Structure 1
């Protein structure tokens, strides 16, 4: 199915929710270590929640390369402020990749009732909400009743913090390179694979050295990933634990931001609060 853009979709008023200071244990979820990508840089640490329910092949590729040490020392070779920071190329030019085969695009996915989708609002074009920490637009649950697999079509949205697989001109050419969004970009929706979202360290992503506008964001003296591993691959004493708001806590945060943003509020403004322990 064809989905509409994220920026055009305003969120409606949510039901009243408890104040953030009154959160209960049930209002938090802990990210599994295998789904937490830990990227260290000279500017600080970036933590990305991987989302295999949306892009299982891309998540497995990033896990594999990270835990092999492939990403260690690689440059953020292309950085465009208020758009994205790209890395993962061993050549540092945007032309390289790993020895593994290219990946088929995972631009849309099928959502079952067990996907943990949190509905934020409904529009004539579909339901808006979150799977994990990633913003999503999806067909309504009722669609599951008329499909052979009892699932509904869904698509991740390229909002700030979303991690996406970079690719060449052909759709099925993603390999090792990926990018971290620092702005919203609707024209990437349905054309690139979103596979997770930054849950801590967005200030670090935004602090990475920017590239030249004349050179389409290529950076002359780029920052690098000094180390990138899944939390599961790190020694236990170095392993961060991240818990992310859910349930009433998350709804209260959405309502707070909605009130602050007013008529300009969209799904891309929703960033689930997260807490980092250890590491």
Structure 2
């Protein structure tokens, strides 16, 4: 288990194999961090599937509109939350292994609730997608997420909590 320096800016994502601890970066992307915490605190991320998982690239989740496990997840990846889209908060932080990026459409200001965790160093994403967190423990659990676009039997986030509330 990682040492949590700032519980208010740390997410705990429970996966089938264990807990993934994510350090959020409010100094880099304050709007994205606030959105992630608001959705976690509302329980919106609980039971949401990883709908796009590409070997060597990334695992994407967070479609709170269409991504609930047990429902019809065929449209997962096409929705967001009922909150407005977020403006891009690009930085110099790299999309390296374990970094958390905001998923979006081709419009840089269309991120909402979806995010991805990079499996490897994906420098080609640098400066094009907002980085707002990094895995500080549990990356071995992320590595075990079922692959596919969408996976035949998708894994899900069992629960997502802000560490300060856990």
TM-score normalized by the length of structure 2? 0.90
Q: 1:171 to 1:99 in 2, by over 3 A?
A: same
Contact 1:38 1:46 in 2 (8 A): yes
Higher helix residue share: 1
Q: Which ranges of structure 2 fall in alignment gaps of 5 or more residues?
A: 68-75
Alignment of 1:186 with 2:118, yes or no, is no
- The runs of at least 4 consecutive aligned structure 1 residues that moved more than 4 Å come to none
Q: Which ranges of structure 1 fall in alignment gaps of 5 or more residues?
A: 1-28, 109-154, 212-216, 235-279
CA separation in 1, counterparts of 2:57 and 2:5?
Answer: 26
Alignment of 1:202 with 2:134, yes or no, is no
* Higher RCO structure (Cα 8 Å, ≥6 apart): 2
Alignment of 1:52 with 2:26, yes or no, is yes
CA separation in 1, counterparts of 2:46 and 2:58?
Answer: 20
Larger Rg over CA atoms = 1
Counterpart selection for 2:165 from 228, 233, 236: 233
Secondary structure at the residue paired with 1:207? Answer: coil
Alignment of 1:157 with 2:94, yes or no, is yes
Aligned length, in residue pairs: 155
Deviation readout 1:135-186 (Å, 9 max, x if unpaired): xxxxxxxxxxxxxxxxxxxx11000000011001101000000001111111
CA drift at 1:205: 0.3
Secondary structure at the residue paired with 1:59? Answer: helix
Alignment of 1:38 with 2:12, yes or no, is yes
CA separation in 2, counterparts of 1:31 and 1:161?
Answer: 18
TM-score normalized by the length of structure 1? 0.54
CA drift at 1:227: 0.4
CA separation in 2, counterparts of 1:174 and 1:98?
Answer: 10
Contact 1:66 1:230 in 2 (8 A): yes
Contact 1:81 1:206 in 2 (8 A): no
